[in-house]
Amino acid sequence: MALLPHFTHPWDVSPAEARALQDRLRAQVQVVPLASPPRFVAGVDVSVQDEVARAAVVLLSFPDLSPVEASTAQVPVSFPYIPGLLAFREGPAVLAALERLRGQPDVLIFDAQGLAHPRRMGLATHLGILLDWPSIGCAKSRLWGDHEEPPPQRGSWVPLWDGDEIIGAVLRTQMGVQPVYVSVGHRVDLETAIDLVLACAPTYRLPEPIRWAHRVAGGETLPVARQQALF
């Protein structure tokens, strides 16, 4: 069953209009625990090649992290990369890829920010709201917020602050590697997001769903036996 947006809005807008849209959408964010432990998670990533965005969604069973399905979509990019407005560049491609997914993930993990954003509307939050589906942001670097250096042990984390507000967590997924920036996307809470990202990253710095999505977005394919396993 494809994941479809409950509503959308124009994507071909000016940067000023994009920020205004973010300010209107932010009122709809829900920060609540996941209804039940996930049985499937999905990683989402996008690559851009010659002005064409290729989005990839890879569905994995949880907690065993076996990939079971992948979907992709290619969409010409119609918006430049502007820090804080990533959703307007990559969002349409991601929605197209989710539309082609047959299985149903309990939560989406994005290679991007969620609430850890100047207007609390990172790509993970933006699409989570449009889809009204649980989502998590897990980025490789910081966009917004201040933080201390997290302790070196795997699983340790420190809050990501915007003034007196906690907008995310800086999480060490492996000892001795750079931390990742975890934040609530939509319909999850920060504790759940941290636990889930950690559970998805038993071996490498980045969670397996994102590693798979990154490779598929880059052109690799899933082993055939796995793609057909569920259907």
Output the smallest distance, CB 143 to DNA, in A: 3
Q: Which of 42, 59, 86, 131 binds DNA (CB under 7 A)?
A: 86
Is residue 81 within the footprint of DNA (CB under 7 A)?
yes
User: Shortest gap between Cβ of 23 and DNA (angstroms)?
Assistant: 13
Total residues interacting with DNA, rule: CB under 7 A: 27
Q: How far is the CB of 6 from DNA (least distance, A)?
A: 20
Report which residue type is found at 77.
Answer: V
State which of positions 181-200 bind DNA (CB under 7 A): none
The correct pick among 25, 46, 93, 196 for binding DNA (CB under 7 A) is 46
DSSP 118: T
C-beta separation of 139 from 113 below 8 A: yes
Closest CA to 207 of 37, 56, 61, 43: 43
Question: Helix, strand, or coil here: 145?
Answer: coil
The full 3-state SS of 163-211, as one line of letters, equals CCEEEEEEECCCCCCCCEEEEEEECCCHHHHHHHHHHCCCCCCCCHHHH
SS (H, E, C) 14-46: CHHHHHHHHHHHHHHCCCCCCCCCCCEEEEEEE
Residue 205 or 226 with smaller CB distance to DNA: 205
Asked if residue 117 binds DNA (CB under 7 A), the reply is yes
Q: Beginning with the edge strand found earlier in the chain, give each strand of the sheet holding 40-49 in spatial order.
A: 67-76, 52-61, 40-49, 107-110, 135-139, 180-186, 165-171, 157-162
Near DNA by CB under 7 A: residue from 42, 45, 120, 131? 45
Residue 141 within binding range of DNA, rule CB under 7 A: yes
The pair of structure tokens assigned to 170 is 């800086």
Unique residue bearing structure tokens 């994507």: 11
* Interface with DNA in residues 144-173 (CB under 7 A): none
**Position 130 contacts DNA (CB under 7 A):** no
Nearer to DNA, 68 or 147 (CB): 147
Instruction: Tell whether residue 47 is a contact of DNA (CB under 7 A).
Output: yes
* 204 lines the binding site for DNA (CB under 7 A): no
* CB closer to DNA, 71 vs 113: 113
Q: Which residues contact 203 (CB under 8 A, 6 or more apart)?
A: 174
Is there binding between residue 111 and DNA (CB under 7 A)? Answer: yes
Check binding of 60 to DNA (CB under 7 A).
no
Contact positions toward DNA, by CB under 7 A?
Answer: 45-49, 81, 83-87, 90, 111-113, 117, 122-124, 137, 139-143, 214, 218
